[in-house]
């Protein structure tokens, strides 16, 4: 998924901090959401050349609207398809495709900047072609 950084397993531990805040539809599986967002968070951490931190995971969750009680229906439908099954090892290709929907320049933004851009136009954060 890019350049491997140190202590990647720590991102899995960070997921616990968000479990009470994550907004998922009844059709979305929490394991898929966490696995997909961890992979995006690891990509962000690697861009900074460090181990994952809480902000990496927050950025991943915010980009996909998992920290938004009122996420757009279109986003929820799209992410449901893209995250489906990514917690299973044999969905490696789908996981890579999910991670590639987020450009590096977007991952370099702060969580606050992501939140602002998500509120204005969530599609500007993703490559959904």
DSSP string for residues in 40-60: HHHHHHHHTTS---HHHHHHH
Going by pLDDT thresholds of 50, 70 and 90, the confidence category of residue 3 is low
The residue that leads in pLDDT, 111 or 7, is 111
Q: Is the Cα dihedral 76, 78, 80, 82 positive or negative?
A: negative
Confidence check: pLDDT of 8 > 80: no
| Burial class of residue 117 in the structure, from the number of CB atoms within 10 Å of its CB (0-12 exposed, 13-18 middle, 19+ buried) | middle
- For the stretch 21-44, pLDDT in tens is 999 999 999 999 999 999 999 999
Confidence check: pLDDT of 97 > 90: yes
Taking the C-alpha atoms of residue 19 and residue 78, their distance in angstroms, rounded to an integer, is: 21
Ordered by start, the domain boundaries in the chain are 10-125
pTM score of the predicted model: 0.92
């Amino acid at each position: 998924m890019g350049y491997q950084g140190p202590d990647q397993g720590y991102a899995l531990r960070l997921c616990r901090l968000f479990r009470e805040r994550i907004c998922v539809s009844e059709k979305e599986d929490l394991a898929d959401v966490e696995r997909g967002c961890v992979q995006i968070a690891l990509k962000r951490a690697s861009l900074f050349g460090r181990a994952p931190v809480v902000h990496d995971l927050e950025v991943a969750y915010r980009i996909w609207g998992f920290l938004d009680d009122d996420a757009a229906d279109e986003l929820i439908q799209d992410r449901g398809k893209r995250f489906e099954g990514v917690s299973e090892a044999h969905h490696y290709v789908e996981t890579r495709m999910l991670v590639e929907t987020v450009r590096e320049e977007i991952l370099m933004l702060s969580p606050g900047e992501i939140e602002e851009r998500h509120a204005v136009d969530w599609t500007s954060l993703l490559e959904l072609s």
